[in-house]
Structure 1
Amino acid sequence: MSITNKQWFGLPLHLLWGYIAIAVFMTGDGFELAFLSHYIKELGFSPAQASFAFTLYGLAAALSAWVSGVVAEIITPQKTMFIGFVLWCVFHVLFLVFGLGHANYPLILLFYGIRGFAYPLFLYSFIVVIIHNVKSENASSALGWYWAVYSIGIGVAGSYIPSFTIPLVGELGTLWMALFFCLAGGLIAMISLRKVQTPTHMHNLTTKEKFNELGRAITLLYTNRSIMYSSMVRIINTLSLFGFAVIMPLMFVDELGFTTSEWLQIWAAFFFTTIFSNIFWGIVAEKLGWMRVVRWFGCLGMAASSLAFYYVPQYFGHNFGMALIPAIALGIFVAAFVPMAAVFPALEPRHKGAAISVYNLSAGLSNFLAPAIAVVLLPYFSTIGVVIAYTTLYIIAFFLCHFIRVEQPGFESAVRVADDVTVRAS
């Protein structure tokens, strides 16, 4: 498979429309992120019930994320993205009509949970496309752009647009608008990626061999210790992102007096920051080292900014400007985990699909565990208990990074060359 070097600040130009498709699709998927928990509560359900809906959604997403990498290599990423695209659209309609439309909690859980299974098939299969079409030494910056367009979609457009549409058409009307974006993103991906080269080495495997490769996405967790530690770090990575989307609307709107639109704009500022920080850290990690950036800027930065996201608004009250400061800090440091997407396939170069599946599983588990932690702790320790739990886990991730041993393509060789020059000079 030929790999092109045509890039613009690390962005693979031959995959440009694929990146655009991710941004558009995730805009629709992100409409609900920062207000759905509050809307479910307004329908008459408790905060714990709203959090549980997100927990179930996250569990389905974790299962889907687990299989997406290997399935994408077995049947091609394009087919996997198509399956995810269709499932999302169908079950989003069912979720709106029979779940939210009738305030039917069991159907909310059923259809929202199944829809949670859909988006990782679309989203994470594109990582397989990137890994197989970009040189390993450029993977960090290419993946930085991937997470940047993800942020543009799910966070910036996905938060700012609802902040203006909710006052006009309401929450349910805004969720219907999401369908348009996901339809557009799916169609762009299907058209633009149809001729992109993707892995074919698994197409001729027997059914048993395909299931063995799928199982490898689990066995790698105990056969490769660095994969196991990397998985833990990746799970911790986005706890605040997914957790704060559930618990902070309740604090900002119900407790501190912010309007839903103000909260959505604060949340959008967080994601707007990640557009630039994802690209920045992706490039910087190729110079400083993947794990150095993750450990010192990702783990410690997220621990500090997670605490600030709670305490700054509590101290200053209904102050929009001050609330933006920790949101921006959170956006800067959450992106320092971007190199983790390159770490996993580098740890298992002969089984990249399985390694990416472990990465995706970890990302999905983060989506699941973040609200799950909230469900368990909120009734007993309120919002601050959840925030402290997230902060503690970021500190634990800092120590886990010490045990991850990965050879970074280009970076390691550059270090050895520099050492050789030094030795010869002496």
Structure 2
Amino acid sequence: MSGSNDVTEATAGRPGLIERAGLPRPLAWGFVGLLIFMIGDGVESGYISPYLAENGAGTPARAAVIITVYGALVTAGSWLSGALSDVWGPRRVMLLGLVIWGVLEVLFLAVALPTENYPLMLLTYGLRGFGYPFFAYGFLVWVLAGSPAHRLGSAVGWFYFAFTGGLPTLGSLVASGSQPLIGEYATLWLSLVLVVLGGVVSLVGIRHARGGGRLAAPGVSTWRSIGNSVAIAFTNPRVGIGCLVRIANTAPQFGFLVFLPTIFADDLGFGTSGWLQLVFVLGAANIFANLFFGVLSDRLGWHRTLRWFGCMACAVSSLCLYFVPQYVGQYWVAVLCAAFFGITLAGFTPISVLMSLIAPGQKGNAIAVLNLGAGAATFVGPLVVAAFLDVIGPGGVTIVFAAMYVLAAVAVRWLRVPAESQRIVEEGGTLQEVGAPMPEGRA
């Protein structure tokens, strides 16, 4: 045992390839498992709606109801994952997410779909919406609690690299290859296999990593933590501001999806396939940019990266995405603009780090508010379009979106880090050392 400790001490000062890449070594298998899990979750994303309409839902409208219920519970699960991670520990929340996903998917595939039982399809598929947020965002809280504070940007960058790499990018790619070979129904079973495999890889691979146990103080109950996950936005205004900045991050992206398909496919003559390729380019650019800006933010500064490479760069890229192709009319220019916008969206990566540092004693609750902002963005963007499109046109709406990014850049100045968090960053510790008890030795 002592020999092992000697080796650890001797090598502690020599970072290996994993550390140089910005990955916290004790959590490395967690990122691998998350990627596999999200690939499995993303397999269905490209065809589930028409498949449901043809296999039990009956009509596209009834299929849309199932998808809407699923989306609502994904939003709720994204919020609850942080609050529950504080009191139950990220490890248990991840395990619960894996069990929910697996059990409900088996019921959905083995019972609801074969019998074309619409109420059961609505119940099983809808409730499964809690699964991936519990697993993925539970792991995000674990990453924020267990990673060295001065490398949090890199760790969060790797999280979003694995998350968005699986859902929907590689997941859709797997589906495109498997459907011609085994069919749509068997592909859904394949997604279950991938999800279970990814969950096992993560939970077994990081079972001894620091940060997986309870994070909240001993007197905090589950219901109190859930209540605090709402109250913290008001009792700690910086958390509330962070939520607004997170809304500004992707609200324009969801808003663009409302009116840009018609403009690019019809008005500019790129066609539906051309528009879908632009969406893929945007997503692919964003995946790798998440990793880049995560690592960069640890060196350049989290506030500076968020303000200039996130908020202000998105203000410019959003204007470019709409106006430049209008004037140039060349498809390759639209491709460059889509990639530019996808890259700048990743400049918001440090917001997760700042939210956890702003409320170090309530890391899970702060992330719950952040996730709530991510969910709110999915309807704030379309709401802005609905309110202004007929009044000021698509160009005017784009300017409104750019203004949202500028306002977010101004708001970043209030996302100040408290002294105790700053001390931990400077000393190279982890956020689990701030404002929370130390759970069991290996947590």
TM-score normalized by the length of structure 1: 0.77
What is the CA-CA distance between 1:39 and the residue it aligns to? Answer: 6.8
Is this contact kept in 2: 1:251–1:383, CA < 8 A? no
Q: Which amino acid is 2:164 matched to?
A: S
2:315 maps to which of 297, 303, 312: 303
Q: Helix, strand or coil for the counterpart of 2:211?
A: coil
Q: Helix, strand or coil for the counterpart of 1:198?
A: coil
Cα deviation, 1:186-241, whole Å, max 9, x if unaligned, reads: 121222122223354558845x6332233211111011111111111112222355
What is the CA-CA distance between 1:60 and the residue it aligns to? Answer: 1.7
* 2:142 alignment partner in structure 1: 129
Distance in 1 of aligned mates of 2:155 and 2:336:
28
* 1:73 alignment partner in structure 2: 86
- Any gaps of 5 or more consecutive residues in structure 1? 415-426
Written as runs of structure 1 = structure 2, the 5 A alignment for 1:51-130 is 56-92=69-105, 110-130=123-143
Written as runs of structure 1 = structure 2, the 5 A alignment for 1:268-307 is 268-307=280-319
Cα deviation, 1:67-104, whole Å, max 9, x if unaligned, reads: 21232232222221121112223444555678888998
Distance in 2 of aligned mates of 1:164 and 1:252:
28
Does 2:235 align with 1:235?
A: no
Instruction: Provide closer, same or farther for how the CA distance between residues 269 and 82 of structure 1 changes in structure 2, counting only shifts above 3 A.
Output: same
Instruction: Provide closer, same or farther for how the CA distance between residues 198 and 296 of structure 1 changes in structure 2, counting only shifts above 3 A.
Output: closer
Is this contact kept in 2: 1:252–1:263, CA < 8 A? yes
Instruction: Provide closer, same or farther for how the CA distance between residues 333 and 201 of structure 1 changes in structure 2, counting only shifts above 3 A.
Output: same
Distance in 2 of aligned mates of 1:138 and 1:123:
20
Q: Helix, strand or coil for the counterpart of 2:202?
A: helix
What is the CA-CA distance between 1:157 and the residue it aligns to? Answer: 0.9
* 2:367 alignment partner in structure 1: 356
Q: Which amino acid is 1:77 matched to?
A: P
* 1:330 alignment partner in structure 2: 341
Instruction: Provide closer, same or farther for how the CA distance between residues 279 and 257 of structure 1 changes in structure 2, counting only shifts above 3 A.
Output: closer
When structure 1 is superposed on structure 2, of 233-242 and 133-142 the one drifting more is 233-242
Is this contact kept in 1: 2:87–2:221, CA < 8 A? no
Distance in 1 of aligned mates of 2:78 and 2:348:
18
1:346 maps to which of 338, 348, 357: 357
What is the CA-CA distance between 1:387 and the residue it aligns to? Answer: 5.7
What is the CA-CA distance between 1:381 and the residue it aligns to? Answer: 9.3
When structure 1 is superposed on structure 2, of 364-373 and 215-224 the one drifting more is 364-373
What is the CA-CA distance between 1:112 and the residue it aligns to? Answer: 4.2
Q: Which amino acid is 2:101 matched to?
A: W
Q: Helix, strand or coil for the counterpart of 1:360?
A: helix
Instruction: Provide closer, same or farther for how the CA distance between residues 175 and 150 of structure 1 changes in structure 2, counting only shifts above 3 A.
Output: same
Is this contact kept in 2: 1:38–1:249, CA < 8 A? no
Distance in 1 of aligned mates of 2:298 and 2:357:
13
* 1:211 alignment partner in structure 2: 223
Written as runs of structure 1 = structure 2, the 5 A alignment for 1:310-321 is 310=322, 319=331, 321=332
Q: Which amino acid is 2:414 matched to?
A: F
The alignment-based identity, stated in percent, is 34
Q: Helix, strand or coil for the counterpart of 2:361?
A: coil
* 2:60 alignment partner in structure 1: 45
1:404 maps to which of 415, 418, 435: 415
* 1:226 alignment partner in structure 2: 238
How many residues of Structure 1 are paired with residues of Structure 2 in the alignment? 407
Distance in 2 of aligned mates of 1:263 and 1:173:
29
Work out which of the two has the higher radius of gyration on C-alpha atoms and give 1 or 2: 2
When structure 1 is superposed on structure 2, of 7-16 and 295-304 the one drifting more is 295-304
Instruction: Provide closer, same or farther for how the CA distance between residues 79 and 209 of structure 1 changes in structure 2, counting only shifts above 3 A.
Output: closer
Distance in 2 of aligned mates of 1:190 and 1:90:
17
Instruction: Provide closer, same or farther for how the CA distance between residues 413 and 199 of structure 1 changes in structure 2, counting only shifts above 3 A.
Output: closer
Instruction: Provide closer, same or farther for how the CA distance between residues 81 and 242 of structure 1 changes in structure 2, counting only shifts above 3 A.
Output: farther
Is this contact kept in 1: 2:85–2:215, CA < 8 A? no
Distance in 2 of aligned mates of 1:253 and 1:365:
28
Distance in 1 of aligned mates of 2:240 and 2:46:
31
Distance in 1 of aligned mates of 2:260 and 2:341:
14
Is this contact kept in 1: 2:77–2:133, CA < 8 A? yes
Q: Which amino acid is 1:151 matched to?
A: T
Instruction: Provide closer, same or farther for how the CA distance between residues 187 and 210 of structure 1 changes in structure 2, counting only shifts above 3 A.
Output: same
Instruction: Provide closer, same or farther for how the CA distance between residues 109 and 246 of structure 1 changes in structure 2, counting only shifts above 3 A.
Output: farther
Distance in 1 of aligned mates of 2:125 and 2:387:
21
Is this contact kept in 1: 2:86–2:215, CA < 8 A? yes
